[in-house]
Amino acid sequence: METVTKTPPDRTVVRQSADRSRQGAGERAVEGVSRYGLVGLLFLVIAVFSVASPETYFTTTNFRLILVNQTVTVIVALAATLPLLAHYLDASVGPMLGLAQGVSVWLIAVQGVPIWLALVAVLVLAVAVGLLNTLLVLKFGMSSIIATLATGSLLMGSLYMITGGRVIFQNVPESFTAIARGDLAGIPLPLIYLTVLVVLLEFLVVWTPFGQRLYAMDGNLRGAARAGIDVNSYTIRAFVGAAVLASIAGVLLASRVGSAQPTVGEQFLLPAFAAAFLGAAVLRPGRVNMLGTVIAAYFVSFTIAGLQHLGAATWIERIFNGLAVIVGVSLAGFAVRRRRQLAVRHVERLERQAPRGS
């Protein structure tokens, strides 16, 4: 009877296999933290401030106020995120919000235009602004930041001209204010609008060619065109979509406040980009994304609200938003570099495992 001798495994092979296993586990852990770390921080912030200020912060009323009051900011942040998918920066989304709230109230309260017709006019105006931004970027070769800053200045000047520099609050009908002040089954209408928009945008960006082709553009228009992407068409959609979202936010603000204010708009710009850039560090690290923007916006909101409940000064909001932009851009850049390093390691690993002479 023959004796079968088992050859002991090579210790070097075993050690390399263990090292690869540990490295893979470490990479998965880092990936999980980078994807969901901000979500965990959001819950941690809520828990900490709830313990620190249970009587004022940890209340249903406070949470409801934060969720509802930030819907306008979140929608503007979604508007800013849409062009960022293609590496464009639209600085006119804040002024577009301001003009939309001013025009809607001016048409309804001063000119006596029916509400539905005023809303249609605001949407048409938003489309025109989006087309103007596209024209400046594609046909005149302007950088998106310069073009949209110029457009934003035009919009703020137009808002001041329409309102005459005064707050318009008289003759605003209840049928208009009911758009953003009502509830549906106990849920505030602004939250319902926001949920519908987020679901729709997430579907468009993740599950349709629209978002994938915007990502593929990533500021490299010539490369995208060589790949068969209609650059002009997708740029138009990005800028027009951003303007329309900003106009929706403006109408909701006007309906909720019940007035038009000549100075509203620009103050929404930094919080919007803070949420968009910080959101690029969550869920899909290194890439701006709609759900990430929403999570980041509410992380900033709950944190600022908690600090203010503890007696922080009002200027803390500006400082925190500025820090959010810095941290968000830095983390997104780190995620991009890390993704490239992992891709290189994966290629090298495949080359090592490939049979020699193949």
Q: Is 218 left (phi over 0), alpha (psi -120 to 50) or beta?
A: left
pLDDT at 327: 80
Structure tokens at 10: 């090579």
Rounded mean pLDDT, 10-35: 55
pLDDT at 134: 96
Task: Name the most confidently modeled range: 58-67, 148-157, 200-209.
Answer: 148-157
Q: Look at the block and give the residue holding tokens 């005023």.
A: 118
Rounded mean pLDDT, 206-235: 81
Structure tokens at 167: 């707050």
Give the residue among 349, 292, 348 at the shortest CA–CA distance from 324: 292
Q: Has residue 308 got a pLDDT over 60?
A: yes
Rounded mean pLDDT, 282-303: 87
**Percent of residues, the chain, with pLDDT higher than 90:** 54
pLDDT digits (tens, 9 = 90+) for 76-89: 999 999 999 888 99
Q: Has residue 57 got a pLDDT over 70?
A: yes
Cβ-based neighbour number of residue 106 at 10 Å = 19
At 285, give phi and psi (nearest 5°).
-55, 130
Q: Has residue 33 got a pLDDT over 80?
A: no
Q: How confident is the model at residue 311 (pLDDT cuts 50, 70, 90)?
A: confident
Beta-strand runs (E) in the chain: 183-184, 187-188
Structure tokens at 49: 């401030």
Structure tokens at 334: 């780190």
Tell me the C-alpha to C-alpha distance, in Å, between residue 276 and each of 7, 323, 356: 58, 13, 47
pLDDT at 217: 80
Q: 316 or 297: whose pLDDT is higher?
A: 297
Q: Is 203 left (phi over 0), alpha (psi -120 to 50) or beta?
A: alpha
SS3 for 168? strand
